[in-house]
Amino acid sequence: MTNIVVLVKQVPDTNAKIVFNGESVDLSAVKMVTSPYDEFAIETALQHKESSGGTVTALTVGGSGADKILKDAKAMGVDNIVRVWGDGFETLDSNSFQSVLSGVLSELGADVVYCGKSSADLGSGSTGPGVAEKLGWASVSNIVSASFGDGLTVTAPADGGNAVVNVSLPAIISCDKGDLKPRKPNVRGIMMAKKAQVDVREASAPASTVTLVSQTPPPAKPAGKTYEGGQSAAEVAKLLRDEANVL
Amino acid sequence: MSEVTVIAEITNGKLNPATAELVTAASALGGDVVVVVPCTDASVADAASAYSNVSRVVAAKSSVFANYDASGWAEAIDAVSPAGNLVFLASAQSKDLAARLASKRGISVVQDVVEISGNNLTSPIYSGKAFQTVAISTTAVISVRANVFSPSPSDGDASMSVVDATGNVKSAIKELIGRASERLDVAEANIIISGGRGMGSPDNFKHLEVIADTIGAAVGASRAAVDTWDDIPHSMQVGQTGKTVNPNLYIAVGISGAIQHLAGMRSSKYIVAINKDADAPIFQYADYGIVASWEDALPVLQSTFSEMF
Ligand SMILES: Cc1cc2nc3c(=O)[nH]c(=O)nc-3n(C[C@H](O)[C@H](O)[C@H](O)COP(=O)(O)OP(=O)(O)OC[C@H]3O[C@@H](n4cnc5c(N)ncnc54)[C@H](O)[C@@H]3O)c2cc1C
Ligand SMILES: Nc1ncnc2c1ncn2[C@@H]1O[C@H](COP(=O)(O)O)[C@@H](O)[C@H]1O
- Ligand nearest the Cα of residue A15 is 1
> For residue B56, what pLDDT is reported?
97
- pLDDT, mean over chain B: 95
- CB contacts, 8 Å: A239 with chain B: 288
Render A172-198 in DSSP notation, one character per residue: EEEE--TT--PPPP-HHHHHHHHHPPP
Q: How far is CA B57 from CA B34, B62, B152, in A?
A: 6, 16, 14
> For residue B181, what pLDDT is reported?
65
What would the pLDDT profile of B196-254 be if each residue is shown by its tens digit? 999 999 999 999 999 999 999 999 999 999 999 999 999 899 999 899 999 999 999 99
Using the Cβ of A153 and the Cβ atoms of chain B, whether some distance falls under 8 Å is answered with: yes
- CB contacts, 8 Å: B89 with chain A: none
Using the Cβ of A220 and the Cβ atoms of chain B, whether some distance falls under 8 Å is answered with: no
- The mean pLDDT of B95-102, rounded to a whole number, is 98
Q: What is the ipTM of this complex?
A: 0.91
Whether B262 and B128 have beta carbons less than 8 Å apart is answered as yes
Query: How far is the C-alpha of B133 from the C-alpha of B21, rounded, in Å?
Result: 20
Fold (CATH) for A3-212: Rossmann fold (3.40.50)
Q: pLDDT band for position A1 (50/70/90)? A: confident
Count Cβ atoms below 10 Å from residue A103 Cβ, excluding itself.
18
Q: How far is the CA of B112 from the centre of ligand 2 (A)?
A: 16
What is the DSSP-derived secondary structure letter of residue B237?
B
What is the DSSP-derived secondary structure letter of residue B51?
S
Min distance B243 CA to chain A CA atoms (Å): 9
Please state the pTM of the whole predicted model. 0.90
What would the pLDDT profile of A110-146 be if each residue is shown by its tens digit? 999 999 999 999 989 999 999 999 999 999 999 999 9
Instruction: Tell me: pLDDT of B180 over 70.
Output: no
Query: How far is the C-alpha of B150 from the C-alpha of B4, rounded, in Å?
Result: 18
Question: Going from the N-terminus, what domains does chain B have, and what CATH number goes with each?
Answer: 3-168 (3.40.50.620), 191-308 (3.40.50.1220)
